[in-house]
Structure 1
Amino acid sequence: MQRLPRLALWLLCAAYVLPGVFGREPWKNADVTAVGYMFSLLRGDASWLDPTIAGIGSDGSLLPYWIGAANMHLMGGLVGPVLAARLPFVLMLVGTLALVWYATLHLARTEAAQPLPFAFGGEADPVDYARAIADGSVLALISTLGLLQLGHETTPELVQLLGTALFIYGLAAGPYRCWQSRLGVVVALPMMAASGAATTAVMLALAGSWVCLRSSSEGLRRLLPWTLASGLLAALTAWALGGWIWRIPAQFDALSVLRLLAWFTWPVWPLAAWTLWQWRRHILRRHLAIPLTTGGAGVIASLAMGGSDRALMLALPALAVLAAFALPTLRRSMGAAIDWFSVFFFSACAISIWVIYAAMHTRVPAKIAANVYKLAPGFEAVFQLPALVLAVLGTLIWLALVRWRTGRNQHAIWKSLVLPAGGVALNWLLLMTLWLPLLDYARSYRPLVQRVAQQVPAGACVNTDGLARGQLAALSVHADLKLAPQPGDPACDWLLVAWHESRHRRFVPPVRAGWRWVAKAERPTDRKESILIYRRR
């Protein structure tokens, strides 16, 4: 059984994790909001038990903000506060990939998951087989479209994702690693509850308890009291931190939810479905029951929240494990279809990125360049040689990977997921090198805050009216302004008002008693999102 070379797997994970870590602004809305809460703790503007931005609370997600603020305090002077806040969450993504690998390794070692022995021998070595399946699970997780952006943000969902992967690992390692599995189970669910996913944590506790109760493995049955204790600790943690929040919407759009499930979990959901069909007679075995029940908890949470992509992200580790067990039974025609689709789709995306990059710098093709600068007025492309070198290197590696995959090589069960994972990593690398200045200009609040800072002096106290939480966080992160914790603070001489532009009427600044209108600050890529600036008379 051929394993994926360790160096190749590590380089692929690095190409997926590292782009976007350095030199990237926090994007709207959740990314910059989380960094804003960390800034409020770092500056002492709010209590560590109740992080706020201009008086708006954090909905019980305390642990991620503590981690980010603590690392800001430790490393902010060396690498900058934004990067210091981001680094722990980068390690969480790395930890998630590692935990998925080890969880799949332990599940693939079970007797029910092993391939049938041949009559005259020659079957795969059990350890090599389990490692090959584990390699496939990491490739499956990297290839999911839903994890691409959300997995690279500095948000509480990264702590929740790590907790989910840790819980799956704890259940999978129960028969093999006694104290490691117990520690993983006990820590995972309270960690999720302290990060804003209390309901999902309790559902995982129920799912894990059911698996432990029905398991034929003595080691897994002994994990039952630890699983129940972890669920109880998660419930108490959420109660102590105010994490029990009702997030069920009044309306439910079934079509939108189905579209989300289809693209967000691509390409693991077809493989996971194939696994359940091919292994349907072993559905209660732990190598299927553990990922099926834990992944189902994430899907149910997403459906209950009206199709929340951030809740659905918690199902991705389990779906990746299920998808990996489809690889030994995957037909050659299905593998070829995955390969050719990946080659054409990801190559087309990469070519589009390169063409638009060339248009930004050379104005050729002229029509594409005109569309770019029309959508991002005021943007000026700046040539960066290191980014270009990395993009060229990544593209050459992709071409070599395609040539290797389409050649006549020894069959390995993980080969069908190499091109999807490599294509996702390539396009993310190109976006975070060639397009990073444009994406920062379009998706961050810095250009808007800079226009506000041109009118409001540094260190000024400002009142706000109607600003979204992301805008308030951006003012805290990108500008040296003191946001009033209560509206109408008489000590503040400046007022910032949210303004939604209308194309059907001429702009007339609203009159505010006691205030003089100064200017309107527009977000360049979305003029409907503007801020009116007033000064006290």
Structure 2
Amino acid sequence: MKTIVPLKEVVKKGTPEATVEAVRTPGVWWVVILCVAWVVPGLVGHDPWKADEPYTFGLVNHILRTGDWVVPTLAGEPFLEKPPLFFITAAGFARLFSPLMPLHDAARLAAGFYSLVALLFAGLSGRELFGKGKGRIAALLVLGCIGLQPTAHKLITDTALFAGFSVALYGLALCSRRHLTGGFLLGTGTGMGFMAKGLLAPGLLGLIAMALPLAASEWRSRRYAVTLAVALVAAAPWFVVWPYALYLKAPHLFDEWLWVQNFGRFLGHNDLGPKNKPGFYLYTLPWYAWPALPLAIPSVVKERSWRRSGSPLLLPLTAFVVMLAVLSLSRDARGLYALPMLLPLGFLAVRGEELLNGRFARGLNSAAVVIPTVAALLLWGGWLAMTTGVPAVVSDAILRRHPHDPVVRPFLVVTALLYTVAWGVAVWRCRRIGPRFSVIWGAGMVMVWGVVMTLWLPWQDAGKSYRGVAASLVQAMSPHACISSRGLGESERAMFEYLAGIVTKRVEVGAPVGCTLHLDQLRSEPKDSPPAAGWVKVWEGRRPGSNDERFVLWRRGDIPGRSRVSAGP
């Protein structure tokens, strides 16, 4: 720990200095260790998990097999939902580390890379806005958000988008002091966000940049205009290279990406994403952005300085308001889309924690210890019940969810134990630091995530992996047989190609129906419906414990009485 706050700032009136201990904040390396210990669990040791990881890896796998990064392709079909920055990065990690680990694990390291970049620049923004030592608190408050826990470790493009927003916001925070560097980082972060997920990042960051001069006079300056000009120059290569290459190679795919996947999704002119509900983010953020949101509210309500020029609260508050307004107007909505809002909320929470006092502060500090402790007890207790079978009612309930043979893996158990013990030590060592809540809560989230992704990793993999279904399907098929499909999702097509080499001809996109085999993916349909007369069911399978999807294989003109293979309950 490093003392950074002068003693006189914490000495109460009339209290002898000799009786007061200096407020302490966590050291840089202590925070770095926490961030790395949080990022690593969950990156390796499991197959791509439904719903987003399988199709993302399918696009990465296409780049690895063909070298084509211009047209993202999934199971033989163009997939223009997102630009290829994350896919290219993941393919690079896969080539570099696949000799040491499975291909999908090596690709998933890209998620850890972008998550660390996001935390690094979140910390730099916190330091730039609030002063020395505050960047570490900002990074821990962002890290501790509930919604970030599963997302930051997934093989999904949103981690690159999150990193892009973090870099861009740091550029805005820096521009008043170093306007050229700030402009370069603003443009680079905007370009990263664009190449990760399309026009969302340029749109949001552009509106934030334009709103700041309207909010305060300090942003209405020649230096800020130069910052924006430098940002445009820095962003130009990101905006031009891939779209131009796509346009030259396939103009019709460029039009689909621009109008259908970007404007069409936002305006709701297609059925490609989950639809927004009134007030979706208002009832999602209280849990998704915990604890940053409740700490950000006092900083806005109590701290009146944000209304004046020069306030460090003005930038994060403007960014959050713009993000919330624009995302609420979009016709598509998911909790995942709220990820960029965690950054400005985390910055506001830095000041909010400073304003905590009295009973509310004591309650939050107690919650930072109690909640992770209860979570750890439940996780360890549930795992012991699952592996020993005692009590049977608990074990059966857990295994009914993801049926598998629970085997004790010493390495995972020892690692989970180390995370648990290390958290207890951190609680003891940090009992006298100033920003106690953010540090203890962040350490608690590291511990909980570490236990979840060690003790419970085999259980999760059993229910979320398609490996068993793909292996069973291959056994029921003739080698190299032509197979059509109906209702087969993006993730399923990607995993069947990767795990079993099965590429179907989808009837939904007008593929000719002349195959001897046909695969259906059924969700809520209670009965099987053959493609046409003369088709016989030869196989049915599903992921263990899955009740919302099943797969049925049909054969044209099969011999009556042929044995059927089944996978899963």
- Calculate the TM-score normalised by the size of structure 2: 0.82
Among 62, 66, 72, the residue aligned to 1:44: 66
The sequence identity of aligned pairs, in percent, is 21
Displacement after TM superposition at 1:281 (Å): 3.1
Q: Match for residue 265 of structure 1? A: 289
Q: Is the Cα–Cα contact under 8 Å of residues 458 and 481 in structure 1 kept in the other structure?
A: no
- Aligned positions of 1:225-240 closer than 5 A: 225-227=229-231, 240=244
Change (3 A) 1:479 1:302: farther
Instruction: Say whether residues 1:384 and 2:409 are aligned partners.
Output: yes
Q: Secondary structure at the match of 1:13?
A: helix
Matched with 2:302 is: 278
1:94 is matched with which residue?
116
CA contact (8 A) 1:175 1:218 kept: no
Verify the 8 A CA contact 1:451 1:522 in the aligned structure 2: no
Secondary structure at the residue paired with 2:450?
helix
Q: Which moved more, 1:180-189 or 1:252-261?
A: 252-261
Equivalent residue number for residue 440 of structure 1: 461
Seen in structure 2, the aligned counterparts of structure 1 residues 178 and 355 have a Cα distance that, compared at 3 Å, is same
In the alignment, which residue of structure 1 is the partner of 2:522? Answer: 499
Question: Distance in 2 between the 1:457 and 1:191 partners?
Answer: 45
2:446 alignment counterpart: 425
In structure 1, stretches of 5+ residues that fail to align are 109-129
Tell me which moved more, 5-14 or 221-230: 221-230
Letter in 2 for 1:285: G
Task: Determine helix, strand or coil for the equivalent of 2:537.
Answer: strand
Of 212-221 and 347-356, the range deviating more from structure 2: 212-221
Return the offset for 1:256: 4.5
Change (3 A) 1:102 1:256: closer
Separation in 2 of the partners of 1:443 and 1:139? 29
CA contact (8 A) 1:302 1:309 kept: no
Distance 2:225 2:160 in 1: 27
**Residues 290-312 of structure 1, C-alpha deviations (whole Å, 9 max, x = no match):** 21222333323432335422221
Q: 2-side partners of 1:132 and 1:95: how far apart?
A: 19
Aligned to 1:161, the other structure's residue is in SS state helix
Q: CA deviation at 1:417?
A: 0.8
How far, CA to CA, are the matches of 2:478 and 2:386 in structure 1? 34
Cα distance in 1, alignment partners of residues 80 and 90 from structure 2: 14
Aligned twin of 1:297:
322
In 2: Cα distance, 1:402 partner to 1:415 partner:
9
Answer yes or no: is 1:349 the counterpart of 2:367: no
Code of the aligned partner of 1:196: K
Distance in 2 of aligned mates of 1:393 and 1:298 = 39
**C-alpha distance in structure 2 between counterparts of 1:75 and 1:376, whole Å:** 30
- Asked if residue 525 in structure 1 is aligned to residue 545 in structure 2, the reply is yes
Amino acid at match of 2:62: S
Within the candidate set 419, 427, 432, 1:394 is matched to 419
Match of 1:452 in 2: 473
Q: Give 1:146-165 correspondences, 5 Å limit.
A: 146-165=147-166
Could you give the per-residue CA deviations for residues 117-169 of structure 1, whole angstroms, max 9, x where no partner exists? xxxxxxxxxxxxx2321111011011100111111111111111011001011
Deviations 1:206-235 (A, max 9, x none): 212443674267654531323455677777
User: Is this contact kept in 1: 2:413–2:455, CA < 8 A?
Assistant: yes
2:180 and 2:230 in contact (8 A); partners too: no
2:459 maps to a residue whose letter is L
User: Structure 2 vs 1, CA of residues 58 and 381 (structure 1 numbering), >3 Å: closer, same or farther?
Assistant: farther
CA distance in 1, matches of 2:234, 2:124: 21
Amino acid at match of 2:286: A
Q: Shift in Å at residue 445 of structure 1?
A: 2.6
Q: Secondary structure at the match of 1:349?
A: helix
Q: Does 2:146 correspond to 1:141?
A: no
CA contact (8 A) 1:106 1:172 kept: yes
Counterpart of 2:209 in structure 1 is 208
SS at match of 1:528: coil
Between the aligned partners of 1:186 and 1:511, the Cα distance in structure 2 is 52
Partner residue, 2:125: 103
Cα distance, 1:75 vs structure 2: 3.6
Note closer, same or farther for the CA distance 1:256–1:47 as it changes in structure 2 (3 Å cut).
Answer: closer
Deviations 1:52-89 (A, max 9, x none): 33425231322222222343344434433212211222
What's 1:117 paired with? none
Please give the secondary structure, in 2, of the residue aligned with 1:49: coil
Aligned to 2:352: 326
* CA distance in 2 between partners of 1:446 and 1:320 (Å): 39
Amino acid at match of 1:170: G
**Structure 2 residue identity aligned to 1:390:** T
SS at match of 1:512: coil
Choose 520-529 or 162-171, whichever is displaced more: 520-529
Q: Once the 2 structures are TM-superposed, how far is the Cα of residue 450 of structure 1 from its aligned partner? A: 2.9
SS where residue 33 of structure 1 aligns? helix
Question: SS at 2:542's partner residue?
Answer: strand
TM-score relative to the length of structure 1? 0.87
Match of 2:17 in 1: none
Give the letter aligned to residue 156 of structure 2: T
User: For the Cα contact (< 8 Å) 1:463–1:492, is it kept in 2?
Assistant: yes
The CA distance in 2 between the partners of 1:330 and 1:233, in whole Å, is: 45
Is 1:166 matched up with 2:167?
yes
Deviation (angstroms), 1:396: 1.2
The correspondence for 2:98, drawn from 57, 76, 84, is 76
Structure 1 521/444 Cα, relative in aligned 2: closer, same or farther at 3 Å? same
Could you tell which deviates more after superposition, 82-91 or 97-106?
82-91
For the Cα contact (< 8 Å) 2:63–2:69, is it kept in 1? Answer: yes
How many residues are paired up? 508
Partner of 1:482: 503
Aligned to 1:315: 341
Q: Which moved more, 1:299-308 or 1:348-357?
A: 299-308
Once the two structures are overlaid, the 10-residue window that deviates more, 305-314 or 483-492, is 483-492
Q: Distance in 1 between matches of 2:148 and 2:306?
A: 29
Deviation at 1:327, TM superposition (A): 2.5
Provide the alpha-carbon RMSD of the alignment.
Answer: 2.7
- The alpha-carbon deviation at position 45 of structure 1 amounts to 9.6
In 1, distance between residues paired with 2:354 and 2:155?
A: 36
The residue type equivalent to 1:484 in the other structure is K
One-letter amino acid of the counterpart of residue 512, structure 1: A
Deviation at 1:340, TM superposition (A): 1.3
Amino acid at match of 2:175: G
Distance 2:204 2:490 in 1: 29
CA distance in 1, matches of 2:321, 2:236: 20
Alpha carbons of 1:189 and 1:286: their partners in 2 closer, same or farther (altered >3 Å)?
A: farther
- Give the 3 Å change call, closer, same or farther, for CA 210–511 of structure 1 in structure 2: closer
